[in-house]
Structure 1
Amino acid sequence: MERGRIDDYEPGPVPSPRPLDRFGFVKQERSSSPERVIKSRSTIEFEKEERRVRKWRKMIGVGGSDWKHYVRRKPHVVKRRIRKGIPDCLRGLVWQLISGSRDLLLMNLGVYEQLVIYETSASELDIIRDISRTFPSHVFFQQRHGPGQRSLYNVLKAYSVYDRDVGYVQGMGFLAGLLLLYMSEEDAFWLMVALLKGAVHAPMEGLYQVGLPLVQQYLFQIDHLVREYLPKLGEHFTQEMINPSMYASQWFITVFSYSFPFHLALRIWDVFLFEGVKIVFKVGLALLKYCHDDLIKLPFEKLIHALRNFPEDAMDPDTLLPMAYSIKVSRRLEELKHEYEKKNVKLVEGEESDRKLKQPQ
């Protein structure tokens, strides 16, 4: 037996059935609305969703055959519809189309199978250790060494072999897990490749490389944006010695899939895959703006807790996302990126100068 393969272990018992929400997560106990209201609302939402699905099917064509042509002809229509939310039944296919991962898969047929079956990874035991921590309340991933955990292991192991410079880092499990709820193992793997290697947008592998260089850049940028867009809150953060690494790292490393409500994370991912990482900054700023008046009153410990546990009303996509879309950050993000790079160059030059001075003459 190959050391560290998840296939070496017997599946654990299937968890006892509990009520699930529409995405497959165990439901939290909440007071229910009157049955008549629920039926009425669900009928209206179903009819609305059916109309949206018909529009989307016409837009993407059979198996996505019309997608590129439609995007070229009507990019503003596509952007508007994505911001309203991709129909859940089409989400997996559309994510592959807008990320460029479908093209990667077609250019690399058989590569994923090779990586999973014939290659070994130095990260295998680390991946196995972390698997049960990924979406533990979702029915697909709950069974110990069951189908969901096996698929998650395969995707993460394959990526750790495909990109040995990155290998495996814990937060990657939430990316892979989210994708596996909407597509096959092979599709999820190539979408991870598209994201980290930059098939459409800037590569994101720096989120997971040694030292997390891209995380450091994003934290520098969000720190400046908070101080510029929300100066009172920025000043309060300074007084309470709060820095972005204390609350925003997971925003970027998992693109809100770690601790945010799943229905909100999905809507953010729709936009993220089409428009890029700027939506993460916009959503973060919108959250802080929405909770601004409460946050500026809190001392350090309560402030940390609040920044990691936003109230339910702040997490409503129909309230939060329009706020996020109204925040313009593209130009400022580019300026701050250049500023960060210049700062790092000076830092490296300073360290090199110090090293030379310390060398024996």
Structure 2
Amino acid sequence: QLVIYETSASELDIIRDISRTFPTHVFFQQRHGPGQRSLYNVLKAYSVFDRAVGYVQGMGFLAGLLLLYMSEEDAFWLLVALLKGAVHAPMEGLYQVGLPLVQQYLFQFEHLVREHLPKLGEHFSREMINPSMYASQWFITVFSYSFPFPLALRIWDVFLFEGVKIVFKVGLALLKYCHDDLINLSFEKLIHALRNFPEDAMNPDILLPMAYSIKVPELLWNVCNVLELSDLESPVD
């Protein structure tokens, strides 16, 4: 009913982005096909349901992944649950004006890199690399934007059960796995490498055990959670 009877200021944006969401997946490949129509319906329904947030690019990857495993109505209500925090911390701050939760998560992640990978953290500082240059989409789409489906689905299994900490841990595991290569790269090559991880780094049977072995310090987590957003140091791209 939200799709049929209500209008959304985001309709044109949704239509524009539909073809960019999982463009190589068979369910979404056909222009105006059942996959694209379902994705449009879920995204428009959410933009009407929550007009304060509306539609933001990146939501399509969440909704699209859900649609691969459930009906439009179930995908819509699970999207609502994720963004409103029915089980875990609400995700809507990832999509609000200014992306406040993205800023917070990137700030936290930068501190975790310094804590767990101090030499790499120092190298990033020297090369003026900050997480906004490579990690924003990790949080906005929970690794569903450009990561292989076998890995993304395994991450989502954990994410739905445990919440956002798995995104931090997988991100740290990726950097740890590629540490020896990354630490020898200059700025331009670093940016490319951080946006294009090698195929062997994407093996879920290797990466996820490594991620689980990483302990996120509760003290650091709690301190970062109460920081005012005005104190954040890293800009968002």
TM > 0.5 fold call: yes
- Once the two structures are TM-superposed, the CA of residue 297 in structure 1 deviates from its matched residue by 0.2
The equivalent residue for 2:221 is: 333
- Once the two structures are TM-superposed, the CA of residue 336 in structure 1 deviates from its matched residue by 1.7
Q: Does 1:164 align with 2:56?
A: no
Structure 1 distance, partners of 2:232, 2:51, is: 29
Structure 1 distance, partners of 2:35, 2:170, is: 30
The equivalent residue for 1:251 is: 138
- Once the two structures are TM-superposed, the CA of residue 337 in structure 1 deviates from its matched residue by 1.5
The equivalent residue for 1:239 is: 126
CA deviation vs aligned residue, 1:271-326 (integer Å, no higher than 9, x gap): 00110000000000011001001000001111001001111111111111011111
The equivalent residue for 2:210 is: 323
1:1-361 equivalences in 2 (<5 Å): 114-329=1-216, 331=218, 332-338=220-226, 340-341=227-228, 344=230
- Once the two structures are TM-superposed, the CA of residue 118 in structure 1 deviates from its matched residue by 1.0
**Could you say which structure has the larger radius of gyration?**
1
2:39 touches 2:67 (CA, 8 Å); kept in 1?
yes
Structure 2 distance, partners of 1:253, 1:259, is: 12
Structure 2 distance, partners of 1:145, 1:168, is: 19
Give, as a single letter, the amino acid of the residue that structure 2 aligns with 1:245: S
- Once the two structures are TM-superposed, the CA of residue 344 in structure 1 deviates from its matched residue by 3.0
- Once the two structures are TM-superposed, the CA of residue 228 in structure 1 deviates from its matched residue by 1.1
2:107 touches 2:232 (CA, 8 Å); kept in 1?
no
Structure 1 distance, partners of 2:69, 2:231, is: 42
CA deviation vs aligned residue, 1:48-73 (integer Å, no higher than 9, x gap): xxxxxxxxxxxxxxxxxxxxxxxxxx
2:21 touches 2:61 (CA, 8 Å); kept in 1?
yes
Q: Percent identity?
A: 88
Task: Give the superposed CA RMSD.
Answer: 1.4
Distance 1:220 1:276, change over 3 A: same
Q: Which 4+ stretches in 1 moved above 4 angstroms?
A: none
1:131 touches 1:173 (CA, 8 Å); kept in 2?
yes
TM normalised by structure 2 equals 0.95
Q: How many residues are treated as equivalent by the alignment?
A: 232
2:103 touches 2:232 (CA, 8 Å); kept in 1?
no
CA deviation vs aligned residue, 1:19-52 (integer Å, no higher than 9, x gap): xxxxxxxxxxxxxxxxxxxxxxxxxxxxxxxxxx
2:104 touches 2:232 (CA, 8 Å); kept in 1?
no
Distance 1:346 1:283, change over 3 A: closer
Structure 2 distance, partners of 1:266, 1:296, is: 29
Distance 1:242 1:126, change over 3 A: same
The equivalent residue for 1:37 is: none
Distance 1:273 1:330, change over 3 A: farther
Give, as a single letter, the amino acid of the residue that structure 1 aligns with 2:82: L
